[in-house]
Structure 1
Amino acid sequence: KGLGLFSKVHIPKGTFVMSYLGERIDDFELHRRYFADPTAVAASYIMKVTEEEYIDASDASKSNFARYINHADHPNLDKFVARKPGGFVNLFANRDIEAGEELSFNYGRDYW
């Protein structure tokens, strides 16, 4: 499942956990970086905000630990996406999460 991210503490249901942070890029830059060059690395840490705007968390110096959260069909986090230019992605606990539990959210159909 990749690297994964695990909670160190109990997180009550409804708690804001973190925002998904990274470099803001548009559709043109996304394709230039990850699809135009056949030798390019995979677009593994991309979060879609709008049809034309993405958060690229590939660069650790411009992102946060949210990039390590894996996908799950039955996740313990829900994502709230403010789908507007300059919008944001916030992650909230959708149930109580125990210390030591892996954090996950559903990446959505667009990811796959």
Structure 2
Amino acid sequence: MNGIQIPGISNPEAIIPITGEKKSYKLVLDFNDGAISIIEARYLDSKLHREIQDLSDNDVTILGTEISDGAYDENLDIHCDKCNKFYRPYCRLHPLFKIPDRVLKRDESSNLSFSQQTLPILFRIEESKLPNAGLGVIAEVFIPVGMVFGPYKGRRCQKKTDFYKDGYAWLIKSGDKRFYIDGSDAERSNWLRYINSPRFEDEQNMLAFQTNGKIFYRVIKPIRINQELLVWYGSSYGNEFVESENGNKYKKPAKNPFICVGAQR
């Protein structure tokens, strides 16, 4: 599986070897929890885990420094919504793993829009299971908690009047800067534009968040095969920091749960 690993750890006591001996770790899909996890390589069990990537002892030992709210730096630290704490660089208990868009050259002869062509092989796009929602994104395989997708792509705009169509634009607040990402043009956006919002909060399985002037979507509940991806913009995660331009009144999280370090997409 291709992607950028976002490591944490499931066993904090194993981070610093008592004997000084170097250990090796595995980033895995933990079937018990339905989530991304990190284990020592010697505990890998094919019945309990699906291996994603090797991690070295050095990768793991640097993780999980707790940061106070007052010292939080959006460019360095990650807020873990499960622990409700900031960590530099990541939470050890709740690792994340970024899945990239499908990388391809624009195929002008395809019947699919460019945004549909960026869809990872994990999903398909078809009529949404929600009434009057249009197209939606459906899982072809089991998608665990901790997977991250993005950034949301589109045309950068400076004001609302520049939008092609309401419902596809996000307001980005980065320091003193404010601008919009408009994904209404299917030839200039990516597959995230097809992910719908749920009818109520309990139906959500993804969370949208901002970091480094970009929007990402994170899986917060296990997504089963043939289940639709639904991203919630609910107020339970904090104060508003990103606004969608479709007239809803939902608020988004002020504390970002993920920072995409070094990803240029």
Calculate the TM-score normalised by the size of structure 2.
Answer: 0.35
Task: Indicate the structure (1 or 2) with the bigger Cα radius of gyration.
Answer: 2
Does 1:69 find its partner at 2:195?
yes
C-alpha displacement of 1:17? 3.0
Is structure 2 residue 180 aligned with structure 1 residue 54?
A: yes
Question: How far apart, in 2, do the equivalents of 1:55 and 1:23 lie?
Answer: 6
Distance 1:45 1:20, change over 3 A: same
**Residues 43-94 of structure 1, C-alpha deviations (whole Å, 9 max, x = no match):** 1211221273111001112111111111123210011212x6xx10111100
Aligned counterpart, 1:100: 226
Q: Distance in 2 between matches of 1:52 and 1:92?
A: 23
Q: Distance in 2 between matches of 1:18 and 1:33?
A: 21
2:208 matched residue in structure 1? 79
Asked if structure 1 preserves the Cα contact closer than 8 Å seen for 2:152 and 2:216, the reply is yes
Match of 1:31, as an amino acid?
T
Aligned equivalents of 1:10, 1:19: Cα separation in 2: 21
Distance 1:89 1:97 in 2: 20
Q: Which residue of 2 aligns with 1:24?
A: 156
Secondary structure of 1:6's partner? strand
Equivalent in the alignment of 1:10: 142
CA distance in 2, matches of 1:54, 1:60: 16
> Identity, % of aligned pairs?
32
Query: Which structure 1 residue ranges, 4+ long, deviate > 2 Å from structure 2?
Result: 107-111
RMSD: 2.1
In the TM superposition, what is the alpha-carbon distance from 1:105 to its structure 2 partner? 1.1
Residue identity in the other structure for 1:93:
V
Sort the Cα spacing of 1:32 and 1:95 in 2 relative to 1 into closer, same or farther, 3 A.
closer
Q: Which runs of 5+ in 1 are unaligned?
A: 35-41
Check 1:22–1:65 CA distance in 2 against 1; reply closer, same or farther (3 A cut). same
TM-superposition CA deviations, 1:3-48 (whole Å, max 9, x none): 1111111111111133211111112xx21446xxxxxxx4121122
Number of residues paired by the alignment? Answer: 100
The separation in 1 between residues aligned to 2:149 and 2:226, in whole angstroms, is 15
Between structures 1 and 2, the one with greater strand share: 2
For structure 2, the 5+ residue unaligned runs are: 1-132, 236-242, 249-265
- Corresponding residue of 1:38: none
Give the secondary-structure state (helix, strand or coil) at the position aligned to 2:192. helix
